[in-house]
Structure 1
Amino acid sequence: MLLAHDLEGPADAPAVVLLHSSVCDRRMWQAQRQPLLDAGFRVLALDFRGFGDTPAPTAAYSNVEDVLALLDEYGIEQAALVGASFGGRVAGEVAAWRPERVSTLALVCAALRGHPPTPAIAAFGAREDELLEAGDVDAATALNVETFVGPRADEATRHAVYAMQRHAFEVQLAGPEVAGDNTEPDLSAITARTLVVSGKLDVDYFGEIAEVLTARIPGARHVILDWAGHLPNLEDPAAFNPVLLDFLRG
């Protein structure tokens, strides 16, 4: 199964693949797509399994293999990966397991498999589980928006994140529990030029991860956005886009 996706731009342009957060879907990149196209990139935005327009998984699967299958479908031998939160985790895993396929890597408030939870993120997870077990999907969705959308976001952005997260809960809760990939990546194997972006106002868990990624990925550079929460590309695209474009242009 190919993931639901949008592909725009000329076939001979350098490809940028946009990997979304687990509180969103590929629509989270709407404010980046046109600037990337205007800058001369081919832009591929996808929905992971159980998000957006991609059905929930029904058997064991690999997010990394799903991304690579989409690249193979269009003959994209090498691409820049831009990943937010969960999408950042997947981007790092693709770059570690198949370094020859990734030219450039931008990890935005990225997650990292196996990183120990801080008290703040553990409390969030426990409360989310409690609400979902009680069947209060609306409250669980609101909790995610409150936790992960920073103060610069306007009400329209908060509403959009709410809608994306609510839809993901609906799709995932209706599907069976299945296993995804679970092998921790060797970050030292990454050869892509790498930018790690974190938000000063994000949950502390992701700030810790940003420091680990910067330390373990060879040559990685870390930028802290003092105005940002967990989703800077949504919270203030006008401030975020130049950071991303300058990095991708090299």
Structure 2
Amino acid sequence: MTLAHDVAGDVGSPAVLLLHAGVADRRMWDAVAPALAHTFRVIRPDLRGYGDSPLPADAPAYSNAGDLAALLDELGVGDAAVVGSSFGGKVALELASAHPGRVRELVLLCPAAPGVPDTPASDAFDAEEARLLEAGDVDGAVRLNVATWLGPDADDAARAALAVMQRRAFDVQLAADEAASAAGMPEPGPDGVEVDLAGIRVPTFVVEGAHDMDRLRACARHVAASVPGAELSVLDWAGHLPVLERPDAILALLLDVLRDDPTVHAP
């Protein structure tokens, strides 16, 4: 299947692939994509199970990295700078490992990453989200995610936007799980892709949010320490989703990094 996606910018411009967080969809980039499109060809997909990309219970096996490589093929894009937020950061690392020729550069905003142990805080969040969903309290699970993942600089509009995107993800994924269960099939989801951080050989810029959950802060530091030559920037104002918290600051950061401006790599 072809992922739902938006494309903006001149076809001859360098491509930038924006990968959303696991609590959001491609709409999380709404505040920065138009400005980026003045310089780049901006591609914003919804991964399967998010936004407008379905998660069929009877679909063949797939990987997020494979879906993205197929989308780039369809769009005639040889390689792209890949910007990933949270879960999207982990998917960006999977793409760089499985299809290294398709990734020109990585910008990872508070990425999830393999090989980082859980913490009491992350275990408590997972347990509470599972309890709410098992009780059928999807609205409560949405509120939990909004409260957990947005930092102190997020305004009411950002919180409302995240709530809409998270609710959409729950609706799509829970419906797919229910359909699979009714058909006696396993819950649908992507195949894992092994990530070799030490084998990544593209410029990599990692952002850590000072107000993020401890496990996610550890993920950012682990990626920055493991990818050869990676640069780490700690944003003292940021939670887990800085593009929703201070979009103007993240737009400035992305333009500086993606245009390879060595003088300013922080908002």
TM-score range relative to shorter protein: over 0.9
Alignment gaps of 5+ in structure 1: none
* Residue 17 (str. 1) matches residue 17 (str. 2): yes
Structure 1 position 184, deviation (Å): 2.7
Quote the residue 1:113 is aligned against: 114
Structure 1 position 244, deviation (Å): 1.3
Amino acid at match of 2:160: H
Deviations 1:200-228 (A, max 9, x none): 00001111011110111111000000000
SS at 2:112 equivalent: coil
SS at 2:6 equivalent: strand
Q: Is the 8 A contact 1:99 1:189 kept in 2?
A: no
Quote the residue 2:197 is aligned against: 187
Quote the residue 1:226 is aligned against: 236
Alignment gaps of 5+ in structure 2: 181-186, 261-267
SS at 1:31 equivalent: coil
How many aligned residue pairs are there? 249
Query: Which residues in structure 2 correspond to 1:121-136 (within 5 Å)?
Result: 121-136=122-137
Structure 1 position 239, deviation (Å): 1.6
SS at 1:147 equivalent: helix
Identity of aligned residues (%): 53
| In structure 1, C-alpha distance between the alignment counterparts of 2:201 and 2:92, rounded to whole Å | 13
| In structure 1, C-alpha distance between the alignment counterparts of 2:158 and 2:192, rounded to whole Å | 32
| In structure 2, C-alpha distance between the alignment counterparts of 1:55 and 1:93, rounded to whole Å | 21
Q: Give me the TM-score of the superposition, normalised by structure 1.
A: 0.97
Structure 1 position 112, deviation (Å): 1.1
Query: Which residues in structure 2 correspond to 1:203-242 (within 5 Å)?
Result: 203-242=213-252
| In structure 2, C-alpha distance between the alignment counterparts of 1:241 and 1:224, rounded to whole Å | 16
Q: Give me the TM-score of the superposition, normalised by structure 2.
A: 0.91
The Cα RMSD (Å) is: 1.0
Structure 1 position 160, deviation (Å): 0.5
Query: Which residues in structure 2 correspond to 1:138-217 (within 5 Å)?
Result: 138-175=139-176, 176=180, 177-217=187-227
Amino acid at match of 2:230: A
